[in-house]
Chain A
Amino acid sequence: DQQVKQNSPSLSVQEGRISILNCDYTNSMFDYFLWYKKYPAEGPTFLISISSIKDKNEDGRFTVFLNKSAKHLSLHIVPSQPGDSAVYFCAASAHHGQNFVFGPGTRLSVLP
Chain B
Amino acid sequence: NAGVMQNPRHLVRRRGQEARLRCSPMKGHSHVYWYRQLPEEGLKFMVYLQKENIIDESGMPKERFSAEFPKEGPSILRIQQVVRGDSAAYFCASSRGYQETQYFGPGTRLLVL
A binds B: no
Residues of chain A touching chain B, judged by Cβ–Cβ distance below 8 Å, are: none
Interface residues, chain B, CB within 8 Å of chain A?
Answer: none
